[in-house]
Amino acid sequence: MNRRLGNEITVQWQAPVTELVAGLIRHPKTISSKFLYDETGSRLFEDITRLPEYYQTRTETEILRSSVDTLRLFFDRPTTLVELGSGSSTKTKILLDEMNAIKAYVPIDISTDFLMETVRKLSQDYPHIDMAGVSADYTKSFEIPKLDTERTVVFFPGSTIGNFEPAAAVDFLCHIRTHLSNGDLLIIGVDRKKERLIIEAAYNDSSGVTSAFNKNLLTRINREYGCRIDETTFEHVSFYNDKAGRIEMHLQSMIDQTVELAGEIITFEEGETIHTENSYKFDMNDIETMSVKSGLQLKRVISDELNYFSVCIMEVVHQ
């Protein structure tokens, strides 16, 4: 049954220690990038988006602002806007300000505390828009409220789709599509392939904010699970993998060491890393292939003049 929203928060996820342990006992060690986003991590990422080296947010924001007339063509009926990984919803405000067809907004984010603050602020700024946050791991099962609008538009900015392996990105979009109906849309931000130096600088900023963001993962593990990892014995490492077409972010142990997590003994050798994030970069062929394999119809690709970043509009067409 459809309903209106009252500015509420639904919690559908908690960080499972079993997933962390499984990632740390495998070789090579890997932890999903979603664990980077507790409240502190979310705030540090917001700081990253304002750094001069981090062109992604700045460029995507410029694309959205300069393409308002084009975007309005796709917001031509009463719409529920659903944002995946909403953070502070900075870019979303462009849509909320300019798309009069948006009648409801559902931000979905893994950090409950950060989400609560965002919904509180936005509900004050946009009292005419129904609003409810969902705290969930959107890569898993979650529920989108059923609302009395004619179209749902899923907004997935920031090139977060690049955090997935290519096959997993397709599986993810297929999963999101199951929540949607014919004619619903996805607006997805993708970071384009470009000169290595430009990409690497965005993940190795001179202020050390990205390093602090990455290392906060260890702080979170210590705080939430009673672990005793010496954070000073790890360093942030990030580089562009040309062959795979992705940035890789790691935490590298500078010494041999052993830690205990949830009763499991975890050993690090000097130089061994925890792989904490990938960020795949896309060319036009990658975008088209992802769309086709996901069963989505690519309607429009809007890019900046330098082709540093693109906003892709895809339509759900169920067979």
| Residues 183, 315 contacting (CB under 8 angstroms) | yes
Task: Return the ∠ at Cα 312 (arms to 46 and 149), rounded to 5°.
Answer: 85
Q: Taken in order 317, 175, 33, 133, is the CA torsion positive or negative?
A: positive
Whether pLDDT at 288 is above 60: yes
Whether pLDDT at 8 is above 60: no
Instruction: Give the β-pairing of 130-135 and 8-11.
Output: parallel
* Residue given tokens 């499991």 in the structure block: 264
Q: Which architecture, in CATH terms, is 43-195+282-316?
A: 3-Layer(aba) Sandwich (3.40)
Q: What is the pLDDT of residue 9?
A: 59
Instruction: Give the β-pairing of 257-261 and 264-268.
Output: antiparallel
Each residue of 65-89: pLDDT tens digit?
A: 999 999 999 999 999 999 998 777 7
Lowest average pLDDT, out of 59-68, 147-156, 206-215, goes to 147-156
d(CA 43, CA 33): 15
> Which residue type sits at 132?
A
For residue 194 the two structure tokens come to 């470009």
d(CA 94, CA 26): 42
d(CA 39, CA 31): 18
Mean pLDDT of 9-16: 58
pLDDT band at 14 (very low <50, low <70, confident <90, very high): low
| Domain spans of the chain, in order of start | 17-42+196-280, 43-195+282-316
d(CA 137, CA 218): 20
Please choose, from the candidates 234, 236, 225, the residue with its C-alpha nearest in 3D space to the C-alpha of residue 260: 225
Whether pLDDT at 4 is above 50: no
The HSE-up count of residue 297 (CA atoms within 13 Å, CB side) is 10
pLDDT band at 5 (very low <50, low <70, confident <90, very high): very low
225 to each of 52, 212, 219, 222, 230, how far by Cα in Å? Answer: 35, 20, 10, 6, 14
Flag whether the pTM goes above 0.75.
yes
In the DSSP assignment, the letter for residue 116 is H
Report the first-to-last Cα separation within the chain, whole angstroms. Answer: 25
